[in-house]
Amino acid sequence: MKEALLILIAYLLGSIPTAVWVSRYYFNIDIRDYGSGNAGATNTFRVLGPKWGTLVMIVDVLKGLAAVKLSLLLPFYWDHEIALTNLQIGLGIAAVLGHIFPVWADFKGGKGVATLFGLVIGISPWTALCCSGIFLLVLYLTRFVSLSSILASIAFPIFILIIFNVDNNAYRVFAIVVALLVILTHQKNISRLLRGSEGKVPILKYRDRKRKRGI
């Protein structure tokens, strides 16, 4: 019963529509009416700029992290590592579903990548650090958030199954499912990447201008 209540709270945390509230409060628009129509950090970067995109991304990450840390409210799990991890996965998934289908924003949210990342930070900080390194490297080289997210998500099960060899079957399956879901939810982005029409986020423009001038 307590677990079910925490899962509900985790869903409500994930449902906080950061991008929607920021766009409405500060710009008097609905972010879902612009750009890709997505209520996530990437679209906020494109439409409102890096300052607000960064803010939205940080809050969305914290939603996943906070959901995972709800497990600390149940002392029984503290001495049962596998059971604790499984509970944390359930709480994190609830938050991600809240982000994708937010009750506070007509069930039309984002893709959940940032909230997923917060989940991973809460459970496996070293794995999160490695995946974020891949994300940032790809972002620096390409400025495609979608491609960065896809490659980081593909790396996730590689770290869990092979490099860190995590001894938790539920977590191993979860890592594989995450990679597949991120790829599935980014089908339109993949199509645009292949066509060369995917939008880049407005960062590192100074570097790109220098390259065009041949500096």
Q: Which two tokens stand for residue 112?
A: 């959940």
pLDDT reported for residue 31: 96
Q: How far is CA 121 from CA 67, 114, 117, 118, 184, in A?
A: 11, 11, 6, 5, 22
Q: Are 204 and 140 in contact (CB under 8 A)?
A: yes
Question: What is the reported pTM?
Answer: 0.88
Number of domains in the chain: 1
Measured at the CA of 147, the angle between CA 60 and CA 104, to 5 degrees, comes to 25
Nearest Cα to 174, choosing from 93, 94, 97? 93
Nearest to 128 by CA among 110, 153, 91, 161: 153
Contact 152, 127 (CB under 8 A): no
Question: What b/e sequence results for 176-192 when a residue is b if at least 16 CB atoms lie within 10 Å of its CB, and e otherwise?
Answer: eebbebbeebbeebeeb
- List the one residue out of 54, 56, 183 whose CA is nearest residue 110: 56
For 80-123, the pLDDT digits (tens) are 999 999 999 999 999 999 999 999 999 999 999 999 999 999 99
Task: Provide the mean pLDDT of the chain.
Answer: 91
* pLDDT, tens digit (0-9, with 9 covering 90-100), for 45-55: 889 988 999 99
Distances (CA, A) of 35 to 3, 30, 139: 38, 11, 19
- State pLDDT tens for residues 138-181: 998 998 988 999 999 999 999 999 999 998 999 999 999 999 98
Domain span at residue 16 reads 2-212
In this predicted structure, what is the pLDDT of residue 212? 54
Q: Is the pLDDT of residue 69 over 70?
A: yes
